[in-house]
Structure 1
Amino acid sequence: MAAISLSSLPRDTRDTLFLLAVIAWVVAMQVGNIPWWCSALAAAVLAWRTTLTLRGLPLPGWIWRVGLLALTLGATWMTHSTLLGRDAGVTLIVVLLALKTLELRARRDAFVVFFLAFFTLLTHFFYSQSLLTAAGILIALMGLLTALVNAHMPVGRPPLAQVARIAAGMAALGAPIMLVLFLLFPRMAPLWGMPGQDETGRSGLSSSMRVGQFADLVLDDSIALRIRFDEAPPPQAQMYFRGPVLSDFNGIEWRALRSGFPPSMALPTDLSVSGPPVRYEVTMEPNRRPWLFVLEAATQIPEVPGTRARMNSDLQWLTMRPMDTLVRYRAESYVNFRHGPLTPVLALQDHIELPGGYNPRTLALALALRREHGSGPRSNAALVDAVMERLRTGGYTYTLDPGVYGQHTADEFWFDRREGFCEHIASSFVILMRALDIPARIVTGYQGGELNAVDGYWTVRQQDAHAWAEVWLQGRGWVRVDPTSAVSPGRIGSFERLRPPEGAIAGAILNLSPTLTAQLRAAWEAVNNRWNQWVLNYTQGKQLDLLKNLGFSSPSWTDLAYVLIGVVVLVSLVGAGWTLWERQQHDPWLRLLQRSRQRLRRLGLDSGDHTPPRELAQQVERHFGDTAFAHSLRLWLLRLEAQRYSRQPAGTLATLQREFRQLAWPQKGSPR
């Protein structure tokens, strides 16, 4: 079948196909957020409507539309167990937009489709506010504006390129208003934010850890944090961003401890710091958890807009609500710190307990180590050093694919496999420490990061998720021990990261130009970071800072309202002035007709302001008689009329303007 040219199609067919293409783009952007059946149904409906348009067939009757609507409602209920809420609502909107095209007959139906598509565009921001999403929405917006402008030009066959230029001009005129509203409209969290509904929709750290979990995270190179240090950053080996602390072990899974001790018997924090502080700013991607990641250890409350933060007894910072949106906060940390009680307390027993029936060979190893190094608290530090030396010299390796571990994970690591990822190593280390009667626990978070040389931000990715250990030593409190550093020193504090095996194409590209690939990635992430900093993270505080720059000494919301009202009034006055000027200008055809009336009025022919060209030509013939001037002016006026109203105009408006200047106009008072 020969390719179909849009220029060869009737205008109604061309316009409908263009609108269907724009709607397909709007729907395609939601494919990752809606059920598979919703995408398939919307695609089938749009393909069906396209076929009907190309073949000139009638649209389906109401039975088809009602049947598809009932199918949509039933499938939505089965998928989401409700017809309300974000996910169910977006599913229904997408399908209804596609179904509405099946009754696209009149202009009124087209306008309904336009504005339903505009509303569907807004739903994309429920799931992502990234720069790529914004770019895709901008493309869809220009397409919808072009279709809308085209619908308001019912006469003739205006080229889509010309209509697109008009739509672009409208968007350009509206951009300053959009910018003013963005800068000055009050930021209110309930209005601008929407709580996330899926606690498992994004990979990331969890409040529990099962051996094998972090191997999934290392495959995810998405960004978790961006950090900008005020001064020189600490060494990468000291960049530990603390998250959940896991102390409760049931033999299979580690969980955060829920102690039943009263406050007087709970494990005290007793945090003390030394040395100069490290001040920095964190931009954290949504993690759908009430967690703030800061460098170990922060003594002051991080400055988080819109919520309050507190530190629990495990030194982890928590917020009052889950972090469902991009958030930026300032923090101050000390890399030299000590925390925990210095003498034994009852609550430390929770960090020695092990479930019965697990890892018998590890328990036997602990007895052998105790016999070798002695018992009692004074030998605990030597035991920790001995276990770390065993990891360094015992043939243990760090690998992304150690295989599936069985019931006795510590036994398999210490004696059989001798390889694992950070959670294998940390879990086996803590189990051995507890078997030695040394209080120990697992700390999860992120370690390291990489510097983006384009914008100077440190980037911490999900693949930087890490698990390390803390042991309690008398007189020292909790001491960080990272057993992974003994197995693989390159994993800690450097750019060395394990990567999944790459495909042939990706590997070839990277081998051809790894430097170029890294530079392109850094440049894109820097651009995306600017988008996050200046657009997504434009907060209430930034609005007030803007007022300070405008001269307000102590800006408030009242000042913000006054500035916004003033700008609105100023823009309204400018718009009113533009409208008055535009009314005076009219269009070029009317201006040319009015110039001809004015010239004739100076020659004594006073016609009305609304005299059409044909009647004016008759008045010229009566007033000037049978003269060459009257004959040429009469023909010119008839061609002017044809240029506006004829299906096949004799010439362009520019030609008529040139001929008007070339007419042999008689002087005032000269004989006819």
Structure 2
Amino acid sequence: MTNPFANLPRDSRDTLFLLAVIAWVLLPHAAHLPWWCSAMAAGMLLWRGWLAFTLRPLPGRWWLLAALVLTVGATWLTHRTLLGRDAGVTLIVVLLALKTLELRARRDAFVVFFLGFFTMLTNFFYSQSLPTAAAMLLGLMGLLTALVNSHMPAGRPSLWQSARMATRMTLLGAPIMVLLFLLFPRLSPLWGTPGDALSGRSGLSQRMQVGNIASLALDDSVALRLRFEDGTPPPLQGTLYFRGPVLSTFDGREWAPLQASFPPSMQPRADLQVRGAPLRYEVTLEPHNRPWLLMLDATAVAPELPGDLVARMSEELQWRASSPVNDLLRYRAQSHTEFRHGPQRMLASLQDYTSLPRGFNPRTLQWAMELSRETGNDPVALINRVLNHLRTGGYTYTLEPGEYGQHTADEFWFDRKLGFCEHLASAFVVVMRAAGIPARIVTGYQGGERNTVDNFWVVRQSDAHAWTEVWLAGQGWLRVDPTAAVSPGRIGSLQRLVAPRGAIATAVGTVVSPNLMQGVRALWEAVNNAWNQRVLNYTQSRQLNLLRALGFEAPSWEDLGYLLLGVLVTASLAGAAWTRWERRRQDPWQRLYERVRSRLLQAGLPLGAAVTPREMAQRLAQTHDPKDNRVQAIQAWLQRYEQRRYASRDGRNAAGDLAALRRELKELSWPK
């Protein structure tokens, strides 16, 4: 079967290759840009590819002008601006595709190359993950291959030959890349990507509707990673509660932060008291576009944050940063699993934690009053009574409890008896408040799993959890987790609920061992974590730590600049000295001759190491058509080389002759 691309002219072949590379670079943008932008770019690339394959002429300038006007208008209608990240990337993607439709001269190709390099970098505005970096590295190699190929105008060099040269150039430039990565000063806010790159990122919310955490539990992405310091024994999974937003106001359907009816001066204070040895650990928090700092419950000392970030704790023990977490954030903290907080005696402001909306859950309110009378208004006895009811009342912990109506607590306690953690927490708090006991909901994450490859604990979005706190006189706020009464395995041994698998996942599960899949997943997450820790989280503070390790007492970003400049100058001088030594070590005439010999070897000409130019010309005529213009041109060049190289002369014009031969060599076409 013949290859339809083998007989294409070189221009068509090179154009199709370049279009394929551009399509690869633009493909990740399809998930972020408007649908019309992706469709328009794909249509233009396919059109240009069809023109190259069928050897048809390119469209006129009026077509391109009309497409440009349409692009600018659509961008304005979509983004209401032509500036900014999204609008700018939309324009550059379509302009790159448009530029391929006027790819006539070498100058146009260079414009496409550098537009491609720029567009490739814009992918990192949306994701700096390891898969994105690997995909863009492949795109970089493709663009460099096309660029190298464009600098070989004579003959029909193979793309594989250009790819080898591009790879060699990349490897030679890798030390400079590493040097710039380590020493180029990271000056905030110039360094980094825009914060709005995280719009739409899932995670905990400031509000909780009954049922929304169940949907979050289907997300298996990483929320944070945790590493305990050496000498700190890892706690039991049942004690790993990462505190997030505290929700205290209920409108019958949705829980929200406290809307206090008392002035701030009368609000209950945190009054946090910790006991026992602290757990010291380091958190790598994934970006979530909110200021919450997720730490183990409870943390009395402010975490060590990088840069100018400042952490503050609310009276409800929730820690917040001074700005939203829009980039990967690493910080150190210490927490205590044994603690006590909140007022020890009843305050008027605690009434805010007993309020319930009117007209909701009448059966639950009646049941709570009956329980209160039966337990003699003893809060501890009432709590135990409700928890025991959850254990023995036939309640089921499930991700699919169905959609609840207006009276969510009534439906849970008396009708459905099905729910996820937020159903249990909400229904439990309603009972407590109806009995006159202050109670509130705490959202966050519970549990985690240790990656045996790198010993990091991984907390996922599927570990999102909601539990309750009740206030008792003389004890303050106490954690009560109703989920532990219905499903102890969720808290103690971290038995997650999973969504039903599709046909493909089921088929894969029957073929591939679950242990193998788990091992592969652990290895991938360890590699991805190493990328996050060593590359994405290589901040200015870590640069300064590197300078301290090199002997700088009080390093600054100016020291980084001076060190980088000194290393670059030293490397440049060393490279210049090596080049000069190499030229003196090897005759430039011999190097030029070896280039010709190498090209003829690739063309299939059997040549020894000691063959003369005249013998080379004769063998070329024996193995190829002597009437071929390319063969005659190479033979003429070899004759001129021999004459100028070995003629008896004083050598004063040797440099000029050598330069002329080099120019002539670039114009030669090589037979196959």
Q: TM-score range by the shorter chain?
A: 0.7 to 0.9
Does structure 2 conserve the Cα–Cα contact (< 8 Å) formed by 1:402 and 1:421? Answer: yes
Does structure 1 conserve the Cα–Cα contact (< 8 Å) formed by 2:41 and 2:93? Answer: yes
Gaps of 5+ in 2: 596-610, 647-672
Residue of structure 2 in register with 1:350 after alignment: 352
**Distance across 2 between alignment mates of 1:384 and 1:637:** 98
Residue of structure 1 in register with 2:336 after alignment: 334
Q: Which amino acid aligns with 1:250?
A: D
**Distance across 1 between alignment mates of 2:213 and 2:393:** 23
Q: CA deviation at 1:219?
A: 1.1
Residue of structure 2 in register with 1:502 after alignment: 501
Superposed CA offset, 1:490-509 (max 9, x none): 11132311111111221232
Q: CA deviation at 1:191?
A: 1.5
Q: 1:148 to 1:367 in 2, by over 3 A?
A: same
Residue of structure 1 in register with 2:155 after alignment: 156
Residue of structure 2 in register with 1:520 after alignment: 520
Q: Pick which of 41-50 and 561-570 moved more.
A: 561-570
Partner SS for 2:567: helix
Is residue 2:385 matched to residue 1:380? Answer: no
Does structure 1 conserve the Cα–Cα contact (< 8 Å) formed by 2:364 and 2:409? Answer: yes
Q: Which amino acid aligns with 1:151?
A: S
**Distance across 1 between alignment mates of 2:589 and 2:398:** 75
**Distance across 1 between alignment mates of 2:571 and 2:249:** 62
**Distance across 2 between alignment mates of 1:490 and 1:371:** 33
Residue of structure 2 in register with 1:648 after alignment: 631
Residue of structure 1 in register with 2:189 after alignment: 190
**Distance across 1 between alignment mates of 2:52 and 2:404:** 59
Superposed CA offset, 1:84-106 (max 9, x none): 22112211111111111111111
Q: 1:274 to 1:635 in 2, by over 3 A?
A: closer
**Distance across 2 between alignment mates of 1:527 and 1:452:** 11
Q: 1:59 to 1:364 in 2, by over 3 A?
A: same
Q: 1:241 to 1:3 in 2, by over 3 A?
A: farther
CA-based RMSD of the aligned residues comes to 2.6
Residue of structure 2 in register with 1:576 after alignment: 576
Residue of structure 2 in register with 1:482 after alignment: 481
**Distance across 2 between alignment mates of 1:351 and 1:544:** 48
**Distance across 2 between alignment mates of 1:633 and 1:196:** 65
Residue of structure 1 in register with 2:118 after alignment: 119
Q: CA deviation at 1:350?
A: 1.2
**Distance across 2 between alignment mates of 1:275 and 1:116:** 60
TM-score, normalising length from structure 1? 0.87
Q: Counterparts in 2 of 1:282-301, with a 5 A limit? A: 282-301=283-302
Q: 1:495 to 1:138 in 2, by over 3 A?
A: same
**Distance across 1 between alignment mates of 2:72 and 2:357:** 49
Partner SS for 2:243: strand
Partner SS for 2:162: helix
Q: Which amino acid aligns with 1:566?
A: G
Does structure 1 conserve the Cα–Cα contact (< 8 Å) formed by 2:126 and 2:198? Answer: no
Q: Which amino acid aligns with 1:172?
A: L
**Distance across 2 between alignment mates of 1:646 and 1:457:** 67
Is residue 2:222 matched to residue 1:244? Answer: no
**Distance across 1 between alignment mates of 2:66 and 2:132:** 33
**Distance across 2 between alignment mates of 1:447 and 1:586:** 71
Q: CA deviation at 1:276?
A: 0.3
Partner SS for 2:30: coil
Partner SS for 1:12: helix
Residue of structure 1 in register with 2:222 after alignment: 223
Residue of structure 1 in register with 2:64 after alignment: 65
Does structure 2 conserve the Cα–Cα contact (< 8 Å) formed by 1:221 and 1:462? Answer: yes
Q: 1:192 to 1:635 in 2, by over 3 A?
A: closer
**Distance across 2 between alignment mates of 1:195 and 1:430:** 40
Q: Pick which of 81-90 and 527-536 moved more.
A: 81-90
Q: CA deviation at 1:587?
A: 5.7
Q: Pick which of 267-276 and 7-16 moved more.
A: 7-16
Residue of structure 2 in register with 1:24 after alignment: 23
Q: Counterparts in 2 of 1:280-429, with a 5 A limit? A: 280-306=281-307, 307-375=309-377, 379-429=378-428
Partner SS for 2:492: coil
Q: Which amino acid aligns with 2:631?
A: Q
Does structure 2 conserve the Cα–Cα contact (< 8 Å) formed by 1:239 and 1:493? Answer: no
**Distance across 2 between alignment mates of 1:283 and 1:71:** 44
**Distance across 2 between alignment mates of 1:544 and 1:593:** 48
Does structure 2 conserve the Cα–Cα contact (< 8 Å) formed by 1:373 and 1:382? Answer: yes
Superposed CA offset, 1:408-437 (max 9, x none): 000000000001001111111111111111
TM-score, normalising length from structure 2? 0.87
**Distance across 1 between alignment mates of 2:261 and 2:540:** 41
Does structure 2 conserve the Cα–Cα contact (< 8 Å) formed by 1:449 and 1:459? Answer: yes
Q: 1:551 to 1:101 in 2, by over 3 A?
A: same
Q: CA deviation at 1:3?
A: 6.2
Residue of structure 1 in register with 2:608 after alignment: none
**Distance across 2 between alignment mates of 1:327 and 1:48:** 45
Q: 1:641 to 1:559 in 2, by over 3 A?
A: farther
Q: Pick which of 32-41 and 259-268 moved more.
A: 259-268
Residue of structure 2 in register with 1:548 after alignment: 548
Q: Pick which of 36-45 and 267-276 moved more.
A: 36-45
Q: 1:408 to 1:588 in 2, by over 3 A?
A: farther
Residue of structure 1 in register with 2:104 after alignment: 105
Partner SS for 1:169: helix
Gaps of 5+ in 1: 595-631, 664-672
Residue of structure 1 in register with 2:532 after alignment: 532
Q: Counterparts in 2 of 1:163-182, with a 5 A limit? A: 163-182=162-181
Query: Which one has a bigger Cα radius of gyration?
Result: 1
Superposed CA offset, 1:317-355 (max 9, x none): 101111111111111100101111111122211111111
Residue of structure 2 in register with 1:86 after alignment: 85
Q: Pick which of 469-478 and 37-46 moved more.
A: 37-46
Does structure 2 conserve the Cα–Cα contact (< 8 Å) formed by 1:225 and 1:461? Answer: yes
Superposed CA offset, 1:368-417 (max 9, x none): 11110123xxx111111111111111111101100000000000000000
Q: 1:434 to 1:634 in 2, by over 3 A?
A: closer
Q: CA deviation at 1:545?
A: 1.7
Residue of structure 1 in register with 2:600 after alignment: none
Residue of structure 2 in register with 1:145 after alignment: 144
Q: Which amino acid aligns with 2:133?
A: A
Does structure 1 conserve the Cα–Cα contact (< 8 Å) formed by 2:360 and 2:407? Answer: yes
Does structure 2 conserve the Cα–Cα contact (< 8 Å) formed by 1:447 and 1:493? Answer: no
Does structure 2 conserve the Cα–Cα contact (< 8 Å) formed by 1:185 and 1:564? Answer: yes
Superposed CA offset, 1:158-202 (max 9, x none): 111111111111111111011011001112221222333266511
**Distance across 2 between alignment mates of 1:326 and 1:548:** 24
Q: Pick which of 342-351 and 187-196 moved more.
A: 187-196
Q: Which amino acid aligns with 2:630?
A: R
Q: 1:169 to 1:633 in 2, by over 3 A?
A: closer
Q: Which amino acid aligns with 1:273?
A: V
Superposed CA offset, 1:528-584 (max 9, x none): 000000000011221122122223344333432332122111111123224434555
Does structure 1 conserve the Cα–Cα contact (< 8 Å) formed by 2:437 and 2:470? Answer: yes
